[in-house]
Structure formats: structure tokens, C-alpha cells
């Protein structure tokens, strides 16, 4: 009843490379194009975190967006912003740094802390470029 979905956007800038070490240079370049550049490249990512809940009688809020902002910053942005996703981010170690894998890893880090507030994480959207983004609903 009266379920409302609210979204907070946060941004981070990070470097990555898409590279499968099991493949030779040519196959990596064919598959990943510019994203296979050996000396890295960066994106200005936009992360949209949507939570759902019922507005509380005393505040009118489902969730205080300041609290959501703080959770996203603590668990995600501080680890990713101005970092190399392949090399610097422990929770992306050993994973292909694709938008798909990044968004799944972000979900896994946020779902617990958000549920502790009494709200429910509903979806994530991660924009890698103006034209490319992924969405994830937790399964």
C-alpha cells in the first residue's frame, strides 16, 4: 500500500579495461574495441539507486535521502571514485570490469545496509556513457 520508489543519483569517475587474459590481443581488440586499450581509459559513471517504501507518518519520507546518500558514498563511491576498477577495488578483483559486473557487485554491497534502515533496495541503474547503461533488480 502506498509504495513509493525514490531514487538517489551519485557519480564517480573511474578507469577500467575490458580484457580477457585467456584470449590473444587480436581477439580482445575485436571483442572489446576501445575498452580493451591496454593503458586503460575512463568513464564518468552515473549510479541511480532506487529504494521503495511507504511514507512514514512523522516525516513523510520513505527514506531520508541524506541517509541513502551516505550509504552509497561509504560503500560504493569512496571505493570507486578516481580509481582503477581492475586494480584498486577489492570487491571487483578477478572480475571483468563491465557495467554488468559492476552493477551486480554494487547491489551486493548496498542491499544489506539499505535493508538495515527499514527500506528495500528496488533497482540500480548504472550509466557508463550517455548511450550505454545497465539496470539490475537483484536477480
Residues that are catalytic: 35, 82, 128
Secondary structure letter of residue 122 according to DSSP: E
Residue 62's alpha-carbon distances to 74, 115, 122, in angstroms, are 20, 12, 13
Residue among 109, 70, 69, 71 nearest 89 (CA): 109
Minimum distance from CB of 43 to Ni ion (Å)?
6
CA nearest 131: which of 72, 46, 49, 48?
A: 46
Smallest distance, Å, CB 119 to Ni ion? 32
- Which residue's Cβ lies closest to Ni ion? 35
List residues binding Ni ion (CB under 5 A). Answer: 35
Minimal distance, residue 35 CB to Ni ion, in Å: 4
Closest to Ni ion by CB, 35 or 68: 35
Amino acid at each position: 500500500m502506498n509504495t513509493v520508489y525514490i531514487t538517489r543519483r551519485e557519480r564517480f569517475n573511474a578507469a577500467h579495461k575490458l580484457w580477457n587474459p585467456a584470449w590473444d590481443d587480436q581477439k580482445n581488440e575485436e571483442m572489446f574495441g576501445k575498452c580493451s586499450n591496454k593503458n586503460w581509459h575512463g568513464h564518468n559513471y552515473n549510479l541511480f539507486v532506487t529504494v521503495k517504501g511507504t511514507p512514514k507518518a512523522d516525516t513523510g519520507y520513505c527514506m531520508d535521502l541524506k541517509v541513502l546518500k551516505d550509504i552509497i558514498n561509504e560503500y560504493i563511491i569512496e571505493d570507486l571514485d578516481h580509481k582503477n576498477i581492475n586494480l584498486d577495488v577489492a570487491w571487483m578483483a578477478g572480475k571483468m570490469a563491465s557495467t554488468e559486473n559492476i552493477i551486480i557487485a554494487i547491489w551486493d554491497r548496498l542491499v544489506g545496509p539499505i535493508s538495515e534502515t527499514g527500506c528495500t533496495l528496488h533497482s540500480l541503474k548504472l550509466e557508463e556513457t550517455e548511450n550505454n547503461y545497465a539496470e539490475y533488480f537483484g536477480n
